[in-house]
Each structure stands twice: as structure tokens, then as C-alpha cells.
Amino acid sequence: ILSAAEVTGADGIHPGYGFLSENADFAEQVERSGFKFIGPRSETIRLMGDKVSAKHQMRKSGVPTVPGSDGALPDDPDEILRNARDIGYPVIVKAAAGGGGRGMRVVHNEEVLLSSIEVTQSEAAAAFGSPVVYMEKFLQRPRHVEIQVLADQHGHAISLGERDCSLQRRHQKILEEAPSPLVTSDLRQRMGEAAVNAALSVQYEGAGTVEFLVDDELNFYFMEMNTRIQVEHPVTEQITGYDLIEEQIKVAAGESIADYQVQLTGHSIECRINAEDPDNNFRPSPGKITNLHLPGGHGVRVDTHVYSGYTISPNYDSMIAKIITTDRGRGEAINKMKRALDEFVIEGIKTTIPFHRKLMDNEDYIKGVYTTKFMEENNF
Ligand code: MV4
């Protein structure tokens, strides 16, 4: 990639949202080779990649965090047991180098705490090359609400509102929407302020996402900060009018966001279309697309790279398209999504389209009362 940048005379490198987007070593090499890495500084990526240092940074900046161990777990078993008793069971043990649901374990009682920690430590050492783990109170049925932030090189940071990403399956998001059906304007204000403070405290640059867990009393707690543009960024674009990729490039080029005014208008939903068989445990369904017709019309956006005749490789992520519908209200956006899903024709492979059709008719989804447990608690 660096050679390609060299021979094409590129000024900067946009890392996308794949493997290189949160790789601090790659960002550092880009910086050292004299190109602009379109994103935060490599030190910021590294700081947020270590979940213990990220959480420490947030506490320092006054961002609410889940009650838990003060950083990495100590060696002394008695201290760990006392610590867990103070937090109260159930607790969750998480790998400092993990994230996105990898390297974590819920512990329900004292009898299995120390052995569970040992298992998590060895798994973390094997998977991430670091055995460091920390512990926090386990929230039973949280919502996943994340704040989109944008920061420039001149000390300005703004919030572009939240996205609700509670609908996940095995830590893979399947549907995202903005605004969150659960978030009030007061909560939005407070979460936005917390996320902006988080960004300012690390002299953040570019687009970033601060993930929070929200409990049923609407308390919110920092979970992780993603230092890349995310798959679900379109729903934020739709309700703010900002092209986030354009903004990433502008702030990387040194432009100021001092006069940006963000207004949230309407409602936007994104369904991830994966080449998977929802009738067979969401097994990957690679192969050749023999016929394709994409939905369209007012308020319907489809982001995809596929076309009729395209062959989906078994070697990469199974997401092949995103349908994003936008309308004045949530109900209208749902109706538009139903119509778009019905209009979508794709032959030759199995996709998650039939699953999304069922989801759009689910009572709890329509009411907007779903949590991160939705997929476990419902049979699709
Ligand atoms: C938690 C949690 C409950 N309590 N932490 C999953 C992904 C990783 N970023 C952290 N995760 C969780 N952390 C505490 N203290 C529940 C989860 C979790 C989850 C979070 C968001 C969306 C889906 C999830 C599915 C299972 C567990």
C-alpha cells in the first residue's frame, strides 16, 4: 500500500473500516513514510486499542465507566475476590487487548471466579499476545448506543448524535438505526458531551465512535472507542446531512470544523445484507450472483460493491450490501425498509434479506424496546 501511495503520488491514505483501520503499527508506518494517515494519530489508536488504558483515560476525563477493578487485575487472589465482592456478582472479565466481544467471560459466583480469570488470561495470551485482563460489573440486558464524533486538528470536537446498535448476533451487528428509540434529548445531550470530552482529552482527530452500554434506568457507561469510520456510519450521514468520509478527508487536510452546526432530522435504519443462510444458523453462503435487482427510490440508499455475475469469495467478510432507508419518522423508515427488502432481488446465493423481512414485522422491534439480548431471546 505504501508503494502504491508512492508511485501514484498520493498525499494521504484512507484505511477504510477493515483490518488496517485500527492497526496502530500501520498508521505509524504511514506517518513515518511521509503520508497523511486519514484518522487519528497512531498513539491514539494504540491508547484506545488497549481497553485498560482506554477506560483509565475515560475516567480521567469524567466519562462514566462501568464499576470495576481499577485497571488490570492484581496478582493477589484475595484482593481479586474482595474486589469482585465489592463490585457484586455477576462480573465480567475482559481482556485488555480484546474488544468487540472477543476475550471476555461472565462470572456468576465466587466459586468459579479465579479459575475463570485464569482461563480468560490464557485465551487472551494465545489470541492477542497479552494475558492482561480487567473486571467489571456485568450489566444483564443493556442497549448498545454509540456516539459519532468528529474532531479537527485545531482542538474542536463535535457530536453527530447516536446510533442504536443493540441488534447483534454473536457480536456482529445486523441492524443499526439513528436516532436510538430509547434516547431522550436530555440523554443525547449528556452522552454527546461525554463523548466530546473523551475525544478532546486525547486530542482526537477525524471521525470516531464512543460506544456506551445503557441500562434500563438510562444510566450510560463507556465501553470502547472505535478510532475508525464504522460500517453503520450511513445512518448518521442520513440524519445529519454530513458526508462523513468527506469530513474525514477535510479534517485530515487541516480544515476547521469550528462553524459546524449539527441538526438531527428524521430517522434512518440500516439493514446489513450478508451472504448467509438465515435458515441454516447464518452459515456463510458464498458463490456467484446470477441475477440482481437493487431497490431504489426516495429515501432508499444501497451501499454495495456487488453486481449480477459477481462471485462472493468464501475468504472474506460475508457482508455484501447495506440497505439504508430514511424518512421523517421511525415508523415511516420501517415501512420504507419493508418495501425496499421486498424489491430486492438476488439469486444464486442465500442472504439475510428474509431474516430482515421477519424482523420488520417483530412487535418488539416495531415498539423499539429491544436489547443486546434480542437475538438470543427470539427465534428467527
Ligand atoms: C459488557 C456487557 C455487560 N456488562 N460489559 C460485548 C462487546 C464488547 N465491546 C463488550 N461487550 C459487552 N460488555 C459489561 N460490563 C455486555 C456486552 C455484550 C454486548 C454489548 C454490546 C452489544 C452486544 C453485546 C452482546 C453480548 C455482550
- Count of CB atoms within 10 A of residue 34's CB? 10
Which of 22, 51, 91, 104 is the pocket-test mutation for ligand 1 (most atoms within 8 Å of CB)?
104
Q: How far is the CA of 254 from the centre of ligand 1 (A)?
A: 36
How many Å apart are CA 272 and CA 359, to the nearest integer? 12
| 50 close to ligand 1 (CB < 6 Angstrom) | no
Closest C-alpha to 40, from 195, 200, 224, 233:
200
Q: How far is the CA of 92 from the centre of ligand 1 (A)?
A: 9
Q: Which residues contact 267 (CB under 8 A, 6 or more apart)?
A: 177, 178, 179, 239, 326, 327, 328, 329, 330, 332, 333
* pTM > 0.75: yes
C-alpha cell at 23: 492497526
Print pLDDT tens along the chain (380 aa): 999 999 999 999 999 999 999 999 999 999 999 999 999 999 999 999 999 999 999 999 999 999 999 899 999 999 999 999 999 999 999 999 998 888 999 999 999 999 999 999 999 999 999 999 999 999 999 999 999 999 999 999 999 999 999 999 999 999 999 999 999 999 999 999 999 999 999 999 999 999 999 999 999 999 999 999 999 999 999 999 999 999 999 999 999 999 999 999 999 999 999 999 999 999 999 999 999 999 999 999 999 999 999 999 999 999 999 999 999 999 999 999 999 999 999 999 999 999 999 999 999 999 999 999 999 999 88
| 224 close to ligand 1 (CB < 6 Angstrom) | yes
Closest C-alpha to 219, from 114, 320, 307, 145:
145
Closest atom of ligand 1 to CA, residue 373: 25
Closest atom of ligand 1 to CA, residue 223: 9
- Which spans in the chain are helix H? 2-8, 24-32, 42-49, 51-60, 77-87, 113-128, 185-201, 233-240, 244-252, 330-343, 353-360, 363-367, 374-377
C-alpha cell at 255: 480544515
Catalytic residue, chosen from 228, 301, 330, 339, is 228
- Whether 228 is catalytic is yes
Q: How far is the CA of 63 from the centre of ligand 1 (A)?
A: 18
Q: How far is the CA of 47 from the centre of ligand 1 (A)?
A: 20
Which residue owns the Cα nearest ligand 1 atom 6?
101
| 136 close to ligand 1 (CB < 6 Angstrom) | yes
How many Å apart are CA 80 and CA 75, to the nearest integer? 8
- Count of CB atoms within 10 A of residue 112's CB? 12
| 150 close to ligand 1 (CB < 6 Angstrom) | no
Contact criterion met (CB below 8 Å) for 333 and 267? yes
| 176 close to ligand 1 (CB < 6 Angstrom) | no
Closest C-alpha to 320, from 287, 376, 272:
272
For residue 166, the SS3 value is coil
| 51 close to ligand 1 (CB < 6 Angstrom) | no
